[in-house]
Amino acid sequence: MKPLLPLRSLIAIALSCGFSVAPIRGGSAVAVEDPAQQSLHELKDQFRRPAHVPFPKANPPTPAKVALGKALFFDPRLSRSESISCATCHNPSLGWSDGLPRAVGFGMVSLPRRTPSIRNLAWGAAFQWDGRADSLEAQARMPIAAPDEMNMPMDAVVERLKGVPGYAALFREAFGDDEPITARNVTAALATFQRTLVSGEAPFDRWISGEESAIEPDAKRGFAVFTGKAGCAACHSGWRFTDDSFHDIGLKAGEDLGRGKFAPPGVIAMQNAFKTPSLRDLQIRGPYMHDGQIDSLDAVLDHYAKGGEKRPSLSFEMKSFELSERERRDLVAFLRTLQAEPVSVTLPQLP
């Protein structure tokens, strides 16, 4: 039997692990978790990655359905011009976005909003910057049929796919129907594929799981700023760093009312409100916001520090604050820990 460690060594180990030591009767000691350390553990739990990807019962995943959805996602024949695919704007090499201030649609028309990344949408509750889609299946239809995006009505999509040799077998394998190429099955397959697009493990995740050396001390301080003084976690919460809600953060307002376009007239808080984007895999470069109006991360921090433009719809979470230069650097260092290693994506062989 190995000898027991001396009491002094046990106390030293307990202290190094973030425990305080309280005396008990008989001169011995027990390790008691420090309240501040316990609070940090509870806070970190709020950002822990889930173990499984959720899929709706009405559209369960199968390998055949995922493969079909991937083929459709990369197929430009879903657009009227046969030159725009879903992957044109949601490019895996650009973080499943396009790197542009604003998206470019049918006929090279500049659209009013930026292309969001489509990672981690399996956990989403509302989709599009204004939340007008209540499921990924509903969202998949919108850009295809929109005249200023892919400009292809769904009945035309179905007829075109029926004329492509090879698609009938893929649809039949995925859905098993006698006439499997339908608008509903197109969007079901696209949504299923998109649910598989999940951010990889980032250094932050390893730290959350207990690997203290996974991130540097400056990033740990930045996490404290993020969840504390700067108040970022009020909206950028949970493991995806989004509350899936809509806020007016006081940006320069234009004609685009965001969620306000669909809210009852009396709901002032939804005017100029847009969906909180995830900070996962955040590229530390601009442009930022729903319309790309802020071109640098420093300018983003300046905007939040000032609290945004004051108006009746301004979100109550928007409160001005001051950060020192060190705190700003620490906050950026923390955001960098949310970046996972890039994963290579194999392009599908289209029918």
- Which positions are catalytic? 149
Q: Residue 180 carries which side chain, given as an amino acid letter?
A: P
Backbone angles phi, psi at 171, to 5 degrees: -65, -40
**Helix/strand/coil (H/E/C) assignment for every residue in 243-267:** CCCEECCCCCCCCCCEHHHCCCCCC
Place of tokens 């970190």: 44
Q: Dihedral sign for Cα 12, 14, 15, 17, please.
A: positive
Nearest to 250 by CA among 263, 231, 269: 269
Helix (H) or strand (E) holding 246, with range, is strand 246-247
190: exposed, middle or buried (Cβ count in 10 Å: 0-12, 13-18, 19+): buried
Residues 72, 64: Cα–Cα separation, whole Å: 12
Backbone angles phi, psi at 140, to 5 degrees: -60, -30
